[in-house]
Structure 1
């Protein structure tokens, strides 16, 4: 049973008398033990794996060293101050809550650290011919010290969560984070803005959905402990932040994993979200906006959530229409076209370079007409109706476009690239206004600069 914050008072420091001279044996071992603990924690606890690189590793190593240092100080002097360690452990607990991780990560790290410490102690005991009874007393001291550290971390964690400590829910949230962390690490990153289903396929290769990947052992173990059958396929759901956490209940959806403490809350639904499940979700959400991601193998969970969040963002910016519950599947082309705005801008700059000599107004009118022609291939009359123009105005613009972009429009590859660029630009500028109907009813427009006249 996990020790509560209250149960840790008064704090037992190191139970049983350990010989003070043992501290002199322990001091030289600390640097190597700390490094070994950090490496083992990062290897075994998936959430801490990314912390082994860069500044995060320095912070993690500092935390381990501080706790080890205090332990040895208490062996040398049981009355030694623990204020620095106590403050650090509470900060660690608050950090875990802020990062959306449960205490299970810290608890796992403490168990691993204790194992590494005892392994080292056994070697040191053999080297110095220490009695077995001392090694046993040392092991008791290590586990008692780990309990104290855990209770301190829990104090900070519970404080950061406003006094809540929902252990079972926290385990399920941790399971969801493990699944997402594992799927993100398992997939080789493709090009920026890779579209759903692209899989980062090389040129000439058929794009295919990732095959089933065995889940991480930590996922299997935690899923077993919380009674959650591991599915082959999942659907992630992105929720709009803001509504009170307590208002969201999932009756009839007990197999759904939720991380509602994340700044961008989300759900994992085993299998596909059919119409029946869609209705249950809509009722459970109580008006909160959500996007149903693409159904993918378990190893693609991170992609499904990324696309769902991208769709939610596009609704927020007005690129996509507002819906209480939307599906990614209905907007795959839009997701792809808006996946890399900088690249789309570069493509548009290249494809539309021949129009650079025009004024802004002239350029916008020709671009609007070109986009309509590329997407509809309609007659002048059909395009005029779509653009709210006189057919003669459309003919005038098309003559100017063919004179300026003639070779480009005749080449299928160049024409396709231009259409992609214009579709992406149009999606990013949904509010672009067109001239009112009848503004050019006589079929006349301002004269084009020399070299861009219609023929």
Structure 2
């Protein structure tokens, strides 16, 4: 007798059945439970596992209670409805945690019903049950299976949002770790969580105490705000393979999701380079917190590439400064500052003494005097292209570090 399980919860059958069914059916229940528990993993490979552990124990209890509940119902005994309901909701939660779809759960119930019906047919022949009684038993059995499926569906749906979030956090971790052989694991977990693997992504970091409006985030954004460094992954598509900043719509989404601001986005990169995008976004957030970069709603690395490069390794900048500007440390601080300002202007403008004087708001003769003093202090480094380039890098980096917000940390070391 073919039947299908519905998702709605039907009303319990109320037809009268012979009370002697309780006596007839109850002795069959232990062996019937064993047969169902053996048949489900045989028919459904996803349930094929060693018959031990908490999941299998829950399955065994579920089958035994289902059979006892059904027999008590058709014999008009008084079942424990509360414990009954909780058992099958718990099975649904197990399914969600196991990562199986609802199809597997429905199939397991269907198999259980089919095995039970075969046993009922055997019992009917042995005890000469009428066709009317068998028809009522069929309606009661398959209606009861629908009820169990509905209860488990409720538990499944309650557990699935949390489970999917956990699995997507794991997916983000796999993408960032990018170990050998991880492509298959990423693909499998992405399929399990219904996440389309993109070619290009942008990583995003936010402050630890950032207030998040989760409803504002797009469904395809991977989120891990529980990590030591809260981060998000935003899928992007760069046209024709050209580098592209995070689209305006995505920036607006982040601004809405994190209304207090302080969001930093990395560059849009191929998925396999996601860790680089995260590293750059993290560096940008550090510079935002230090006051080097403006603290807007969403700060993009795309707009600050040179700054990120110059301040990527401040210790190395210090070493360059010692080698190329160390001779000026003996000067009086005010004099040293004026000379460095003049040197920075000369390197960046290559202007005449008069043009530089306008820029510095001093007399041209003062500029000429400072240039002579710089030539004395720095010697041949000003005529060496490599040294001159290194000095310009150092001065630009020092200028950026001078923008550190008061109270945000130690100021750059003077050279």
TM-score range, shorter-chain basis? 0.5 to 0.7
1:293 matched to 2:258 = no
1:175 matched to 2:148 = no
Q: Partner residue of 1:266?
A: 231
* SS in structure 1 of the partner of residue 195 of structure 2: coil
Q: Partner residue of 1:307?
A: 280
Q: How do 1:77-96 residues align onto structure 2 when only pairs under 5 Å count?
A: none
Q: Partner residue of 1:257?
A: 222
2:208 aligned to which of 220, 241, 244? 241
* SS in structure 2 of the partner of residue 316 of structure 1: helix
Preserved contact between residue 281 and residue 301 of structure 2 (Cα < 8 Å): yes
Preserved contact between residue 235 and residue 304 of structure 1 (Cα < 8 Å): yes
TM-superposed deviation, 1:225: 0.2
Check 1:252–1:366 CA distance in 2 against 1; reply closer, same or farther (3 A cut): closer
Q: How do 1:131-280 residues align onto structure 2 when only pairs under 5 Å count?
A: 166-182=162-178, 185=179, 216-244=183-211, 247-251=212-216, 253-272=218-237, 273-280=246-253
Q: Partner residue of 1:380?
A: 353
Higher helix share: 2
Give the Cα separation in 1 of the matches to 2:279 and 2:98.
29
**CA RMSD, Structure 1 to Structure 2 (Å):** 3.0
* SS in structure 2 of the partner of residue 253 of structure 1: coil
Preserved contact between residue 215 and residue 299 of structure 1 (Cα < 8 Å): no
Give the Cα separation in 1 of the matches to 2:393 and 2:200.
32
Q: Partner residue of 1:418?
A: 391
Task: For structure 2, list consecutive stretches of 5 or more residues without a partner in the other structure.
Answer: 1-96, 100-160, 238-245, 406-415
Check 1:323–1:384 CA distance in 2 against 1; reply closer, same or farther (3 A cut): farther
Stretches of 4+ moved more than 6 A in 1? none
TM-superposed deviation, 1:424: 1.5
Q: C-alpha deviations, 1:334-391, integer Å up to 9, x for none?
A: 1111111111100010001332432232222211221121122223343334334343
User: What TM-score do you get using the length of structure 1 for normalisation?
Assistant: 0.50
Check 1:431–1:221 CA distance in 2 against 1; reply closer, same or farther (3 A cut): closer
Give the Cα separation in 2 of the matches to 1:379 and 1:242.
51
Q: C-alpha deviations, 1:271-304, integer Å up to 9, x for none?
A: 1521122222222222332112101111111110
1:369 matched to 2:342 = yes
Q: C-alpha deviations, 1:200-256, integer Å up to 9, x for none?
A: xxxxxxxxxxxxxx8522111111100001111111111122134xx4224461111
TM-superposed deviation, 1:171: 1.1
Question: How many positions carry a matched residue from both structures?
Answer: 245
Give the Cα separation in 1 of the matches to 2:228 and 2:203.
16
Q: Partner residue of 1:320?
A: 293
Task: For structure 1, list consecutive stretches of 5 or more residues without a partner in the other structure.
Answer: 1-105, 109-164, 187-213, 433-455
Give the Cα separation in 1 of the matches to 2:318 and 2:297.
31
Give the Cα separation in 1 of the matches to 2:274 and 2:289.
23
Q: C-alpha deviations, 1:280-335, integer Å up to 9, x for none?
A: 22222223321121011111111101101101111111112221111101111111
Preserved contact between residue 345 and residue 425 of structure 1 (Cα < 8 Å): no
Check 1:422–1:218 CA distance in 2 against 1; reply closer, same or farther (3 A cut): same
User: What TM-score do you get using the length of structure 2 for normalisation?
Assistant: 0.54
Q: Partner residue of 1:333?
A: 306
Check 1:351–1:252 CA distance in 2 against 1; reply closer, same or farther (3 A cut): closer
Q: Partner residue of 1:402?
A: 375
Of structures 1 and 2, the larger Rg is shown by 2
Give the Cα separation in 2 of the matches to 1:371 and 1:250.
49
TM-superposed deviation, 1:422: 1.4
